[in-house]
Structures are given as structure tokens and as C-alpha cells.
Structure 1
Amino acid sequence: MAKTRTEDDTFDENILDVDVTEEMETSFLEYAYSVIYSRALPDARDGLKPVQRRILYAMDEMGIRPERSHVKCARVVGQVMGVLHPHGDTAIYDALVRMAQPWSVRLPLMDGHGNFGSLDAGPAAMRYTEVRMAPAARAMTAGLDEDTVDFKPNYDGKETEPAVMPAAFPNLLVNGATGIAVGMATNIAPHNLVEVVAALKQLLVTPTMELDELMRFLPGPDLPTGGKIIGLDGVRDAYATGRGSFKVRATARIEKVTPRRQGIVVTELPYMIGPEKIIEQIKKAVGEKKLSGIADVKDLTDLAHGTRLVIEVKNGINPEALLEQLYRVTKLEDTFAINAVALVEGQPRTMTLIEMLQVYLDHRIEVTLRRTRFQLAKATDRLHLVRGLMIAIADIDDVIAIIRSSEDANEARTRLIGAFNLDEIQANWILDMQLRRLTKYSTIELEKEAAELNERIAGLREILDDDAILRSVLTGELDDVVKQFGTPRRTILLASSGQVSQTAQPLEVPDDPCWVLLSGTGLVARMEGDSALPTTGPRSAHDVIVSAIHTSAHAEFGVLTNRGRLVRCRAIELPTVPPTANAPALQGGSPASELWLLEPGETPLGMTRLGPEAAGLAIGTRRGVVKRVAPEYLSKDAWDVIRLDDGDEVVGAVELRDPNLHLAFITTDAQLLHFPASTVRPQGRAGGGMSGIKLAPGASVMWFGAVDPAADELATVSGASTSLPGTEVGAAKVTAMLHYPAKGRATGGVRCHRFLKGEDVLIAAGIGRSPVIASAASGSPVELPPTTDRRDGSGLPVSQPVTSLAGRGSGRTAASADVSPEGIGTVPQDDATAAPREPDQAPLL
């Protein structure tokens, strides 16, 4: 509606009828055009949106380069908004921040200083943060001053800006792109620069290469946050058609997060997913009863260690099954949809992988040709001037005479052109020449420069004339970019579909029978099963069992330490190892120090059952003290079972289910004493025990346990006390226990091994069911000599140092004087094939 004012202050109305449909179509198309071409979609050549390109150009013009200091982001945003991009400071700052975030782009183009946000939080205001160009940004802008790309007017026509960047690397694929336009959107995943360049080089050599062959060099995206891509079929679809999707899964592992609790530790998250979002989803799922078994969730992410999200698992819950549930109900597994839309020759196009690579190659070839022509023109012009200078210096006296005799510069220029056959450019250069160039050395310099220019011009013309040389130059430049910015792949590619198995493990661990195992190297594990403990077959490292008790998954048991403490534990807290027909292998176990609350210098010696199945304990110490402890269960995490004198420690213990058994001591000076267990009066926990064996000066107890004098054998290994522990091979002897008479408690016992010359101590000893076997520190068996009837005879050399001795399937254990207490009593049982039995004394050590 138009109104016109008349002389009598009245208005004449002029109403124009407009078709609303046509007006809406026109306005919508103009708006859509503006969003598509000026804001949302990247150019396929440099992979940049207009705002990103303008930020890089403005910073390059301002000199905010990597070698310079940081400047306020507000200064950059103001320059870009005032000269190149009149769309608001928020959009400009958001684009600048994203180019600086290493979790958003694979190769950051900005070097930010300050709070640039996180996956869960936005950045600080632009007045607080600082920025400068990253080295990769210089590679994007290199060559702008060499006529490599076209320039166009800015929004008000007062300045110019590049229509595209020279782009020394394929930014569209390396950093990806995301944007929402009108009626279309783009979402391109980041890739590894090394792999993208390898694919480009192959495409340069073989332009007709098929996609499957090309994917050998570029197998899939490489996300900045790592993780795992599950299933490559969707990746291939995206590469073949421009559209496709794939699953991204977090990197997680099962760890012992507390001494008594397992947890799921997440170290890499899916692309653009933050830990706070995962925590929020977990809490919501727990509240809605979609998840169970989670005790706590902690975000321990920091700048020093990176992403670390700890999900503590309740006891009795299978962490592997819980992790499968987390993948289903949270963003620990996410879907990334590729929609490769970019501008090609000013038109939006859905592009395949080969098309994206080819468009970039065509762009770089054009950039290289334009740069070469520019450099050729500059070199040719310089050579032209050098030749004029050489002429002038050769006849410098005549040149000076002409200049001095001329009325003005115009006359001098005209006379020089006529006298020396120069052109106007050369004549002007001679007139501007400084007097210091009038030396003999200047002539030499000019001749050298002329030769170099001739050589450079020839090389530049070869690039323009020979396509093979042009492509080799392009290949060399790509290799230089890889050397400068290439990094290893972060994302793992898995070809499987990623579907959760329908036969997944149950979430809650049932209270089934199991074996709890403690190895000679201090590893602890739980082995499911109700059958006999597997002991046959070859042994390897960590297969030597110190203690084994048969219990159930949810039952409690006690761990006896060398400090005389009984620590209460639960079987469900232990890592599981699979049952095997051979000797139990504890490579999947965890160190005892990580599972149980032990004091410094405290080591576990063995295990015993608690509750109704508990039996009395028989304990022997290094100073020869023996104690019987009546069964007792306390509501504590740990309690003392013997009062130790200063400097004393426990060396062995057994669950004493049959008081008619004998208790035996072996000392370092080769004395053996065994006596009926009934001669030891039971004491309470506070008792300090009673004298078990009388020790000679300098001697100490190295082995204690329960024995059957009629069926067991004694094995001893002698050596020198001056040898380093674990290095003495020694001499071994095996004798039946029936040759050693029982003696009274608190006596010195009888000699069980005669020392040869150079021997003065036992380095290993043990009593067990016949035949006794030995093992080395590696777990490998050591062959012992045949059994002898001489109870105090000397030993025979063995093949390697012995660290543990035990009877086959006896359940009783042996000790080594040259290993740590956690290695005392190692049982490499090797011959139990019967059903599980309840021995007279269950093995505690």
C-alpha cells in the first residue's frame, strides 16, 4: 500500500495487489539460495564453508600466524564481521571455536588459548579467549599471493576475498563437515590424513581405479575421539553413493577399580558424545529400571590422561553383560549417518568418495598450474631486468654520461633506450639503480642470478608442458603435508555387524560352585566348576597354585597373610578364568595387592573358608612358634589370628580338620620335626602360640604344614647362603617321611639333609604326597632325583633352580627359602583325577 501526501494534508491510497504464493516462492528461494551458497554447505575443493574461509583469510591478512603471539578472539571476530561476513558475531565465533577443538576436527586449523569448551560445555566468551592460526591453516592459505585462486568482491564491494582456498590438503575429507541448509544437509566424517593422501596418490596414478581397490588405502573414517567403527558395509555404501551409516562404539575395558569391585572404564567415546551426556543417560536408565548392577559412575577425565569414565559394577554382576546393556541403552554406541553434500562448481551435489577425491585433485592441479604460471612470469620479468642491468654495468661510463647530460629523467630514459637497445622497463630500472651496485662484484652476482633464473624458468616450463612432471610435483607436495601433519589412526575398524549376541551372558552371576585359586606369583582368580581341580597336563608360567579352596561364587573366604591377619574376601570379587583340562592357568588373574586391603610389605600366604564350613587353623612362624586357632568368624574386614613378636612372621598354615594329623617344621639348617597336632592346645585369637621347634643359633623355620608320616615324602634342596636368591641350582634329595621318627614338641627334631662342601643351608623344602614334584620360577617342572632311604644323606644336582616343591594331588604344600612369602607353599599339583574330596586337612597354604 502506497500513500501520497497532498496540499491539504490528506493522503491518497495506492494499493498494489501481490500474489502471496509468488511472493513466498520468490522470498523462500532467495533465502534458500543464501543459506545454501553463503552459509551452510562447504565447497568440495577446500572443504570450507564461507565463514570458515573468511576467518582464515582475515587472520592471514592480519598476520596472526603460528609464529606470532595469540590475539583476542573478539578482535578476529570483529574484523571478519566488519569486512567479510555480516551475519553476526555468534556464528563467526562458533565456527572459529570448532576449528580449534581437537575433538571436533581431525586436524585443527586454529591454535586456541583459553577455555574453548568441551564435549559437554561451550567455550568462554570471545573476550576471554585467544587464538592464532595453526600450522595446518597456513597450508590451507599458502599461495594466496601467487594468483592460485580467484578473488571476488566482499559484501559491500570495497574489499575482495578468495572464492576458494588453495588447500594444500583435502580438508573436506580430513576434517569432515556438517551443516543444515534449506531442504538439504551435509554430514561428512573426518578421515586420517595419511590414508587420504595415499588414496589421492593412487588415484593420480590410476584415474580409473575402482572403489574396492581404493578402500585398501582409505578403509574408513578416522574420528578425532577414537572409538571403534562396527561394520564396514555402511561405510562402503557411503563411499559408493554419498549416503550411508555406520555404528561407532566406545572403547571400554573391564578393570579392578577398587580392591573389591570391578568396573567398566571408558577411555574413548563415540564422535561428539561427551561423558556428562553418558552419565545423564545412565542415571536416567537406572531410574527407569532399564539398567541394574551399577554402583557408581565417575567422570575422571582430565587434560593429562584424557577421557576416563569409570562405571563401578556391583558385586555379583557380570561386567561383560552389563557393558552389552550399556551399548543398547546409552550413547556408548551411536550411529553416524554420512550425507556427503558439497558445492561443486557452485551447485550442491551428493558426492561419492572418488568424486570428492577427484574434485580436490582437479583443484590442486589448477592451483599448481596457476602458481607455476605466476612464478614463471615473475622469473621471466626478473631475468629481463637482470639482463638490462648487466648491459648498463658493462657500459657504465656511457650510461652515467648520458644521464648527466640529459635535461630530465624522460630525456635520459629516451636516450638510454636508443643507445643500448633497452625497453622502457629496463631503462626505468637502470635510472633507479643505486650507486652501490656499480661494483665488479655486482656483475658477478647478476651473472649468477641470471643463470639461476634461466634454470628455474626451464623447470617451471617443464611443469607446464609435461603432465607427468606436474603430477609428480603434486605428489611431492602431498608427501610433504603428510610428513608435517600426518598422525596414526585413532579409530579401530571392525568388519563385524556389531549385533549383540542373542546368547549373551546373564547379568547376575549365579551362586554356582567354584574354585578360588592363588598362584605363586600372587595372582588370584575364580574358576567356575564343581569338578575336581584340574592338575594334569603341562605347566607354564603362573600355573603353580599356592592355595586352592572349593566354595561358591557368592561365598566369603579368608586370606591369611604373613602378618598373622585373616582378611575377609568374597569370591564374586575375583576375576574369572576358564576351566581347563590342564593345570589351572592364572594369566587372567589379578595381583592380590589390587584385590585385598593389604598393608605395605604384607603378602598373602593362603586361603581358608569362613562361616559354617570353617575349620580350626594350625599356624607356624619363622621363629618356631606353633598355634592352633579355634574356628571363629568376626564381622570385620580383617582380624588377627596370632600375636607375633617383633621380627617374627607366619610362614605356613593349614585348615586342621583332623586333629590326629602331625604338624611339621623344616628349618634352614636341615632339621625336621613332626609331632601330633593333638599335643598343641587350641588358643584364642589373642594368644601368641607355644614353642613348636627348638632352633639352633642363626637358623629359622622355612616350612610348616600338616603331614601324613605314612604316605608323604620329604624333598629338600641344599645350597650356599651366600648365593643370590633364585640363582643357586643346588642339590636335591627325596626321602619317604616314614624314615623320620616323630619327636616331642619344642625339641630340635632330626637332621634331614647332609650338606656337602660349599653348602650350608636349605634353599627349598617341602612335604607332600608321593611322588613330590618341583618347579622353577617360570612354572616349568624340574626333575628330582629318585627317592632314597638315607634320611640324612646328601643331595644330587638338579637342572635349574627350584622355587617350589609339592606332592602330587596331596593338597599339602611346600616352601622355598629363596622366594617371597607369596611364593611359599606353591602347589603345582599334577595328578588328581578323582572327584573332589574333602581332605583331612584342606589346603590353606
Structure 2
Amino acid sequence: MARRTTKQDLPDDFEEHILDIDVGEEMRNSFLEYAYSVIYSRALPDARDGLKPVQRRILYTMNDMGLRPDRGHVKSARVVGEVMGRLHPHGDGAIYDALVRQAQSWSLRLPMIDGHGNFGSPDDPPAAMRYTECRMDRPAVAMTADIDEDTVDFRPNYDGRETEPSVLPAAIPNLVVNGTTGIAVGMATNCAPHNLVEVVQALRHLIKHPRATVDDLMRFIPGPDLPTGGKIVGLDGVRDAYETGRGTFRMRATARIETIGRRKGIVVTELPYGVGTEKVVERIKTLVQGKKLQGIADMKDLTDRDNGLRLVIEIKNGFVPEAILEQLYRQTSMEDTFGINNVALVDGQPRTLGLKELLEVFLAHRFDVVRRRTTFRRTKAAARLHLVEGLLIAILDIDEVIALIRSSENAEEARTRLVQVFDLSELQADYILDMALRRLTKFSKLELDRQKNELEREIEALDAILGDETLLRSVVSDELAEIATTFGTPRRTVLLESAGTAVIASATSVEVADDPCYALLSSTGLLARTSGVDELGSGEGRANHDVVVSAVATTVRGEVGVLTSAGRLLRLGVLELPALPPSAHDPNLQGGYPLSEVLSLAAGERALALCTLATDGPGLALGTRDGVVKRVNPEVLNRDEWEVIGLKDGDEVVGAVELVSGEESLCFISNVAQLLHFPAAAVRPQGRSGGGMAGIKLGAGERVSWFGVVDPAAPEGPHRPVVVTASGASTALPGTEPGSVKVTPFSEYPSKGRATGGVRCHRFLKGEDTLVLAWAGTAPARAAAASGAPVDLPPADGRRDGSGTPGSQPVAAVAGPLAARLGPPTSTDPAVQG
């Protein structure tokens, strides 16, 4: 039994040392230490590599373990144990959670870890770490590349026995691309993911133009690009976040109305970021059971690994699907908000950063990394050159060197005599002495001379980078372009200025006035309708987003056709399209609906143009990738879709237009910059099943880049026809290189016979071998990037086969002014009514 010590038991000379402490002061100090620890060591990311300490330690440890993409997976528990034992003693749960998040494609836009096994879903947690396996994904290799070349500082780990990097070299702008979330003490961070290709374009623009504004950068980064896709409705909050670091935007699920058996149904294919299917299903069931949501007959979750998310909501007969969809957006998490709060550590201090500040911090880090890497490589090359020069001296008198070494009493004497006799440094002498004799005798002077020349050239190139800041910035820019080419993917999230104002009352659609209007299709696949010629503008203005690539005159209760790359014509009710606001004097379809919401296209199928469903007139003209041209007799069938051309295997339609008079010229432009145009009358009209005839002569490996119609009789002036071409490298990822752009009057190109090769319309520069874009039509031409942002075109050049000028950013689409393409719609014209 333990005995209690009393004061009488203490020795006589024992002195009491009692320290009086203010409890309030002690709590304040302890809380501040805890808060600092959470802010700097756990919750907030570094603005340079976008990683929290635990994420950085995971990637660094996996790199040290050699768990690269070309190696096999290992148990996640092994990685977690290694991280916890060496660098992060805060518990295996936190480490495994961070590891799992870096492997989830619905959490990160660019996952860093390749997971094998059950890593969960938006609704379900992952399996235990003893069941899952992992290894580094390719982006993680780019994040840790060159870490062994003194590119970043290292600091002691928690027990001082090892060192860890304070930041990773980070060749990828991880914080902007993948975003992050974290809750510290008194502050939090919530950064939205973005598209890598768009971010790299903005970074390269900022390298060339350091004084670029937020508006300039938003031409490349129009908004976030969420891993789960969906739509962002309203961009005002995004702009606020880009300017101040704080803002809120609405995320909306991607859904379309389909016929399911005998009923209409809502098919949801993408949900807002961070929202799981089960959460939506439970909420809908609760609303239906509480009789707060009427009209839903059944609901099926058909999501699987092969087809992705697919939630089918069947609607009872007599209910309007569009109205129920609006209620779902309003009452469930099919529409959610995302609050941007860009708080990150800069020089060890938490700061709220706007878009430009985020990019500038990353660029400053990359400049420092490349500068330190270059210095390291230069020092290493100089040291090797020094040794090679010593070997060259020794090789010239190899017999004397061997005799000198053999006659020496010990290594110290041999070193001293080598330095004195051959005028070598101690490093050179030690290197010769440490080398095996058989290696020394096998060296060839020619081989050493070649190695010396290569090292001298390498040192000269490295010195040039260190001595020229412009060249250093160019190296960083080129490396970023390579990153975009390697890891870039197309945008997943659709950006909408507003939700649109679609009419959602099909039961009362007969009461809607059958007013004249225009149906519009944009370059990014948005559909809308608008009324009045004034709203379409004269074509001299400037759209803030997107260009209208196709438009037809129709009526509100009419129907139009959608021509696709698969050679199909799909029927579309104009009433299903959202109406643009009356203030839209310049064509801007950011209030439109994505085409996937109103039509179902096959994988890889694209919408090319709109047309009326008139049964008279000259009909349609189509051109295919393999150079086939076809005119289709006007014919409207009593079905929702039908084929208008018989395509051969591997071929697809690249251009489709509706002829107005039949006197137009049909124009082909190939990827090797050959342009051919000939009268439409040279092509005999065929029925729907016809396969067309030879349009342009192509060589092996060549294909058609663009097909359309041009009015050669247009008078000279501001609306004369022009040809726009952009060249680039066929090996580059589409949308990553601006290329060389040229605008030429169409009158410079003579008409040739059908089935000939045409004439050259663009001369390639060094490194270019293909046209990445081509278009011909009425001036002034308008261009847009893949994000929909406008792109400036150079002035017209009279040289029909000249080379282009470097573009400001990649061009994804070109169109002419609508006023020059359309006349006023009339409800009495049967061709307009469709």
C-alpha cells in the first residue's frame, strides 16, 4: 500500500519553490501556441505548392519510398506508418484521410495518388487502410521533381533525427488547380478547383505581362472547373473572389428531360461539388413523403463505374417536368453554394489572396526553384569538368602517372607528387588515385574530349539562364506549357451568367404567343432563343463571352433541327429553349442551356449547326472529315431524329449548313492548309440515304478541318468574306498553344473544280505542321477561346499563302456577325415557322 508523503518526511534543508501563475495569462499563452500550431502546421496550405503539411509529407515519403507510377501498389497502411513514424506524429487517422482525399477523382481536379481498392464515394467512406493500396500518380511525380537538386529548403522533423522539405518544388499550380479546404483557429480556407490548361494559359500570360489585370486573367480563367462537373450559375461571386479572395457562387446539377417509357423523366448526370447521390435521394424522398413535392412517380439510382452518375426521376403524367426540376433545384442540394475564401500561408503568414496574387506567389516559387536547380546543375557540371580536365592531363602521360604511383611509399606521397609533377588539384589527384587502374588505362582521349565539350556547352547554357532573367522566365513558361500538355483535360463545368428564363408550362404552351424569334447555338454548346433583330446587334460590337456559331429564324412555338457530327438531324422544340433577357443587345448565350440538357447525343457526337425544318428550298449541304460533300433534298420525317448522310466507317461530318439560294460556294479547308471552293450547283442533291460525292482531294493522313458556305458575290466592304486560319503543332494538346493566326480576304482564293486539291491558304512556320482551326465567312470575324472568352484577331492580310502572327491565346471558334447572316423573322413565312 502506497504511503503518502507529508511535510515532516521532507529533509530539514528542503526549500519550497512555489511559482504563482496568472491562470488567465497561462490560458492565453497556451491557446496562442495551440492556435499557431494548427494554423502553421496542420490546417492551412502553403500558397506555393498548395499543400498542407500532412499532404506534403505523404507525397515526400512516397517519393522516398520509390512508389512511382511504374512500380506496383503497396498497402496504404505501410505508407501511413512510414509518414507517422518519420514526419507526422499526429495519428494515423488524419494521415489516411489526407491520403484518401488525394486519390479521389471527385475531390481533386488532378488527383495526386493512384489508389487501388475501395477509396469510397461522395456518400460512403473508404475501406480501412489495411485493405487499400496506393502509389504516386503522375502529377505527384511532377510535384516532387528535382527535389534532390537543392531546389527547396529542408528543416528538421519533429524529433530532429531527419529532415523534411518546407515546400515541394511543385511544377503544377496545385492550390489553384485542386483547391483545398481547412478549418484553423479563428480562420478557415476554401479554395475552388480550376482547369489546369486555363490556369497555365493565365500563368504564361502573366509571365509575359506582369501588369495584367484580373479582367485580363479572366479571359483565360473564366471560372472554377469542378471535379464533378455540373454548372455554375452566376459569375458575379466568382469575380469578387478573383479580385478580393472572397466570394460565393451557386453550383447546379446537370439534368435533362427525357422520355422514359410512357412518361417524361428527369435524368441527372452531374451533381454539385461535394454532393452525393444518396443525399439527394433521401431529401427527395422526405419531400415527397411530406407532400412538399408533387408529381414524382418513381426514382432510380442507376449510377455505376462504367456509365458514371445517372439518377432517373420519373414524372407523373399531367405534371410539367421543367417545373418539377426547378423545385428540385430550389428544395434539394441539386443546387448548392460554394463560398470561396482563399486563405493560404505566404512567407509563413496567413493571407487572403485574389487570383492574381495566387498566380504571382506560385510563379515566384517556380522562378526560385528553376534558379536553384540551374545553380545546382551548373555546380555539378563544373565539378565534373574539373575532374575530366585532370583525367585528360593524366591520359597524356599515362605511363609516367602509373610509374609515379607505383614508386610512391603511400597515398599521401602519391597525391603530393601528382599535384607537383602534373600541376593537378588535390581533388583531381584524389580522383585519379581512387580510380581502379584498369579504368584509368581504358579511358580514351577522344571520349574525354567529347565529354569535356558537352560539359562546357551545358555550363554555358546554364550560365545563360542564370544571367538572363528573361530567359529564366521563358524556361518556366515552357515547362508550364509541357505540364499543360501532359496533364491537361477539357473543362467539365459549364459557366452560366444566369439561370435563364425558360418557359416551364407545357400544359399551357398553346397560350404562348407564336412570336417570331431566333434560335441560337454558341461555340461552347449553349442553346437559347431571342426575339427582334435589334437584340442580335449589327455585329460591330463585342460579346463578353462566347460566339454564336449558328442561328435560324423561327417562331416561339416552332421547331428547328440540330445537325450533328454523326450525320443525324434532331428535332428540337424552340419553346424548350431559354429566352435571352431583353437587354442582350450583343449576342451572349451565357444565359442559355447546355445542349446536353435538351438533347441526348452519343459519346463523341457534336452539334454542328441549326437549321429550319422547311420542306422546300435548296436543302442542306454537308462536308465530312474524309472530304465527302453532299447536298440533301429537303425532307422532314415524323420522328424525333433521322440520318441525313450515309457515313463510311471512321468518317464524320465536320460542317453542315442550310443553303439559302443554292448559288453559294461550298468551301473545304484541310489540315494541311489547302482551301477549295466551288459552286453548290456542282453538287447534285441526293436523298437521305445517299453517301455524297468527292468534295476535296486529300493525301494520305490528311483530313478536312472546316466545311461551310460562302457568298462569293458579296461586295467589297466591312462585310466582305474572309478566311481565318490558325496553325500549330499536331503533337501539342489542343487548347494549350495559341499558334499563328491569319485573316485573309476570301477573294484572294480562286475557285477550282470539285474533287481537286485547291490552293494553299496558310504557310507553316518552324515547329508547325497542321491547322488547328479554320473558318471562312462574312467579316468582321469574331473569335472565342474554349472558355467562351473573346480573342482578338489580327487585321486582314492580303497574302493568301502567307504565315500567321502569334496569337494572344488559343482560338476555339470563329463566327461572323449575325446581322449579316439573318434577316428579320416572320411568323407568316412557312420556312421560318418550320
Do residues 199 (structure 1) and 202 (structure 2) align? yes
Aligned counterpart in structure 2 of residue 141 of structure 1, from 114, 139, 144: 144
Q: Distance in 2 between matches of 1:386 and 1:424?
A: 14
Aligned partner of 2:313 in structure 1 is 311
2:240 corresponds to: 237
After superposition, the Cα gap between the structure-2 partners of 1:20 and 1:507, relative to the gap in structure 1 and judged at 3 Å, is farther
Structure 1 residue 422 corresponds to structure 2 residue 424:
yes
Distance (Å, rounded) in 2 between the aligned partners of 1:422 and 1:481: 45
Structure 2 match to 1:120: 123
Q: CA deviation at 1:508?
A: 7.0
State the alpha-carbon separation in 2 of the partners of residues 483 and 592 from structure 1: 37
Residues 30-69 of structure 1: pairs in structure 2 closer than 5 A: 30-69=33-72
In 1: Cα distance, 2:161 partner to 2:278 partner: 47
Q: Does 1:76 align with 2:79?
A: yes
* Alignment-derived partner of residue 489 in structure 1: 491
- Equivalenced residue count is 539
The letter for the 2-side match of 1:35 is V
1:297 aligns with 2:299: yes
Shift of the 448–253 alpha-carbon distance from structure 1 to 2, 3 Å rule, reads same
Q: Distance in 2 between matches of 1:377 and 1:439?
A: 28
Is residue 322–residue 507 contact of structure 1 (8 Å, CA) maintained in 2? Answer: no
Q: CA deviation at 1:17?
A: 3.5
Task: State, as a whole percentage, how many aligned pairs show the same letter.
Answer: 63
Q: Give the aligned partner of residue 175 of structure 1.
A: 178
Report the Cα distance in structure 2 between the residues aligned to 1:447 and 1:358, rounded to whole angstroms.
Answer: 44
* Superposition TM-score, scaled by structure 1 size: 0.60
TM-aligned CA distance change 1:511 to 1:370, over 3 Å: closer
Contact kept, 8 Å, 2:613 with 2:636, in 1: the verdict is: no
Q: How many Å separate the matches in 2 of 1:440 and 1:404? A: 18
Counterpart code for 2:490: P
Would you say 1:329 and 2:331 are equivalent positions? yes
- Unmatched tracts of structure 2, length 5 or more: 513-553, 563-598, 600-611, 617-633, 643-686, 691-827
Confirm or deny: 8 A CA contact 1:376 1:460 kept in the other structure.
yes
Question: Rg larger in 1 or in 2?
Answer: 1
Deviation sequence 1:682-728 (CA, Å, 0-9, x none): xxxxxxxxxxxxxxxxxxxxxxxxxxxxxxxxxxxxxxxxxx9999x
In structure 2, how many angstroms separate the alpha carbons of the residues matched to 1:162 and 1:129?
27
Q: CA deviation at 1:439?
A: 4.7
> 1:4 touches 1:13 (CA, 8 Å); kept in 2?
no
SS in 1 for 2:9: coil
Q: 1:120, CA displacement in angstroms? A: 0.3
Partner of 2:132: 129
Q: How does 1:265-304 map to 2 (within 5 A)?
A: 265-304=267-306
Flag the 1:99–1:411 CA change in 2: closer, same or farther, 3 A. same
Q: Does the CA-based 8 Å contact 2:615-2:636 persist in structure 1? A: no
Aligned match of 1:370: 372
Distance 1:434 1:581, change over 3 A: closer
Deviations 1:319-377 (A, max 9, x none): 01110110000111111110000000000000010000000000000000000000000
Cα distance in 2 for partners of 1:400, 1:581 equals 95
Q: Does the CA contact (< 8 Å) of 1:316 and 1:509 recur in 2?
A: no
Confirm or deny: 8 A CA contact 2:44 2:184 kept in the other structure.
Answer: yes
| Aligned mates of 1:487, 1:582 — CA distance in 2 | 40
Which amino acid is 2:66 matched to?
Answer: G
Q: CA deviation at 1:589?
A: 7.8
- Residue 611 (structure 1) aligns with: none
475-484 or 13-22: bigger deviation: 13-22
TM-score under structure 2 length normalisation = 0.61
Cα distance change of structure 1 residues 510 and 13 upon mapping to structure 2, 3 Å threshold: farther
Q: 1:431 to 1:356 in 2, by over 3 A?
A: same
Do the aligned partners of residues 726 and 55 (structure 1) sit closer, same or farther apart at CA in structure 2, a change above 3 Å counting? closer
Number of the residue aligned with 2:504 = 505
Residues of 2 paired with 1:205 and 1:422: CA distance? 47
Report matched runs for 1:426-825 at 5 Å: 426-439=428-441, 442-496=444-498, 498=499, 505-506=504-505
Asked whether 1:97 is paired with 2:100, we answer yes
Gaps of 5+ in 1: 514-533, 543-574, 594-723, 728-830, 834-845
Report deviation, 1:463: 0.2
CA distance in 2, matches of 1:363, 1:452: 30
Change (3 A) 1:98 1:587: farther
- Computed over aligned residues only, the root mean square deviation of the Cα atoms, in angstroms, reads 3.4
Shift in CA distance, 507/75, structure 1 to aligned 2, threshold 3 Å:
farther
Q: Give the conservation status (yes or no) of the 8 Å contact 1:317–1:509.
A: no
SS at match of 2:102: helix
1:281: Cα distance to partner? 0.9
What letter is aligned with 1:197?
V
Equivalent residue letter for 1:123: P
Letter of the structure 2 residue corresponding to residue 8 of structure 1: D
TM-superposed CA distance for 1:5, in Å, is 5.6
2:515 maps to what in 1? none
Amino acid in the other structure paired with 2:341: N
Shift of 1:232: 1.0
Deviation at 1:296, TM superposition (A): 1.2
Decide whether aligned partners of structure 1 residues 402 and 592 sit closer, same or farther in structure 2, where only a CA change above 3 A counts. closer
Question: C-alpha distance in 2, partners of 1:726/1:277?
Answer: 48
Q: CA deviation at 1:287?
A: 2.0
Given that residues 46 and 171 in structure 1 are in contact (C-alpha distance below 8 angstroms), is that contact kept between their aligned partners in structure 2? yes
SS in structure 2 at match of 1:229 = strand
Q: For residues 740-766 of structure 1, what are the alpha-carbon distances to aligned partners after superposition, in whole Å with 9 as ceiling and x for unaligned?
A: xxxxxxxxxxxxxxxxxxxxxxxxxxx
**Over residues 164-213 of structure 1, what are the superposed CA-to-partner deviations in whole Å (9 max), with x where a residue is unaligned?**
00000100001001000000000000000000000000000000011111
1:152 to 155, 165, 171: 155
Question: Does the Cα contact within 8 Å between 1:539 and 1:583 map onto a contact in 2?
Answer: no
SS at match of 2:255: strand
Amino acid at match of 2:48: R
Q: Deviations over 1:381-411 (max 9, x none)?
A: 0000000011111111111111011011111
The separation in 2 between residues aligned to 1:85 and 1:219, in whole angstroms, is 38
The equivalent of 1:386 in structure 2 is: 388
Take 1:442 and 1:465, find their aligned partners in 2: how far apart are those partners? 34
**2:126 is matched by which residue type in structure 1?**
P
Q: Shift of residue 66 of structure 1?
A: 0.9
CA 1:726 to 1:404, structure 2 compared with 1: closer, same or farther past 3 Å?
closer
Which residue matches 2:214?
211
CA distance in 1, matches of 2:325, 2:635: 24
CA distance in 2, matches of 1:160, 1:539: 69
Alpha-carbon distance, 1:297 to partner: 1.3
2:444 partner SS: helix
- 1:551 alignment counterpart: none
After superposition, give the CA deviation of every residue in 1:778-824 in whole Å (9 maximum; x if it has no partner).
Answer: xxxxxxxxxxxxxxxxxxxxxxxxxxxxxxxxxxxxxxxxxxxxxxx
Name the CA shift for 1:410/1:293 in 2 (closer, same or farther; >3 Å).
same
Please, which of 328, 351, 354 is the counterpart of residue 352 of structure 1?
354
For 2:621, the equivalent position in structure 1 comes to none
Cα deviation for residue 504 of structure 1 reads: 5.6
The farther-off stretch of 6-15 and 291-300 is 6-15
User: 1:126-173: per-residue Cα shift (whole Å, max 9, x none)?
Assistant: 000000000100000001100000000000000000000000010000
Deviation at 1:8, TM superposition (A): 3.0
Evaluate the alpha carbon distance shift between residue 510 and residue 395 of structure 1 in structure 2; reply closer, same or farther with a 3 A threshold. closer
Give the distance between the partners of 2:361 and 2:351, measured in 1 at CA.
12
